[in-house]
Structure 1
């Protein structure tokens, strides 16, 4: 998006970089003024200067590069609600923390080299790196995720399902 004089809140990528570099140098009143100028709304009065910098930087970047999609935003909100509930229930001594679910991958996406897949199994965290040739786990190379899942568990597994890339309800779809 290119910056236009009629929309001072919109920035180009280059102007955004300059703006982000400037934010930490501004005092609280100047940050609030910048918020009103760029976002055309009043900043939340309770935000501290460091938090105001972070939120303003995020909002400006979201305008230029795009914000979270609806599914990701809902997943993050659900995780936040679960964290709040687990904190409240942590007051009881019998509560055991439940691991948070991994957000689902975007539909129809292919794994790109460099992607990290993480799965907890048998109280151990396993990280798999997607490479152009296949997958790497524990410094070993594999041609399929199912081979990796078999190496981790010692039993036959559908690799994409083991790593949460395939929804149980969708059957054979990836």
Structure 2
């Protein structure tokens, strides 16, 4: 990415942060007004201020940074339909059968073929993202946390170990 493109992206994210902060300062009536302006429809009347704020912030982010990919949207729709089906079955007094297993997504934003690298104990470790998990040292793992545990011998949050999440604030007791 060129420095001009990086600068433009940083500026767009800064504008987005400001817009979301502005939303956070609005009361319920003003959020409903923003909904009508931005989405050209009346907001659902039962939505609380907190949920309305989250939905508007999501729409701003999706518009600026791109919405969910088709596969993720389908997965979420399938999960929602299954939940509604289970609730309806429970309301009728029937026990619903177990939900079909949903294959774990490798990690948000990671596409098959992506290489993750991390140095640990003086050794460089490279993990390849697969469609159905992660490959490290000729073995396949279902989660990054399993890979991190295999590398370190201790329990780790896999995305955090590979630098895909922010590090937590250090407490007086230390930690990872």
Give the CA deviation at 1:104: 6.0
Task: Describe the superposition over 1:93-135 as per-residue Cα deviations: whole angstroms up to 9, x where unpaired.
Answer: 65453354126669x7214428xxxxxxxxxxxxxxxx84248
CA contact (8 A) 2:82 2:99 kept: no
Measure, in 2, the Cα distance between the counterparts of 1:93 and 1:35: 39
Task: Describe the superposition over 1:11-67 as per-residue Cα deviations: whole angstroms up to 9, x where unpaired.
Answer: 932221011112222111111222233344432333221110011000110000011
- Give the alignment of 1:31-110 within 5 angstroms: 31-90=31-90, 92=93, 95-98=96-99, 100-102=101-103, 109-110=112-113
TM-score by length of 1: 0.53
Give ranges in structure 2 of 5+ residues lacking alignment: 1-10, 118-123, 129-134, 147-176
Identify the residue that residue 126 of structure 2 maps to in structure 1: 133
TM-score by length of 2: 0.52
Aligned CA RMSD, in angstroms, stands at: 3.6
Identify the residue that residue 145 of structure 1 maps to in structure 2: 139
The count of corresponding residues between Structure 1 and Structure 2 is: 118
Task: Describe the superposition over 1:135-174 as per-residue Cα deviations: whole angstroms up to 9, x where unpaired.
Answer: 8xxxxx950234x58xx9xxxxxxxxxxxxxxxxxxxxxx
Measure, in 1, the Cα distance between the counterparts of 2:24 and 2:49: 9
CA contact (8 A) 1:35 1:41 kept: yes
Measure, in 1, the Cα distance between the counterparts of 2:55 and 2:29: 15
Give ranges in structure 1 of 5+ residues lacking alignment: 1-10, 115-130, 136-140, 153-174
Identify the residue that residue 21 of structure 1 maps to in structure 2: 21
Higher helix share: 2
Q: Any idea what SS the aligned residue of 1:113 has?
A: strand
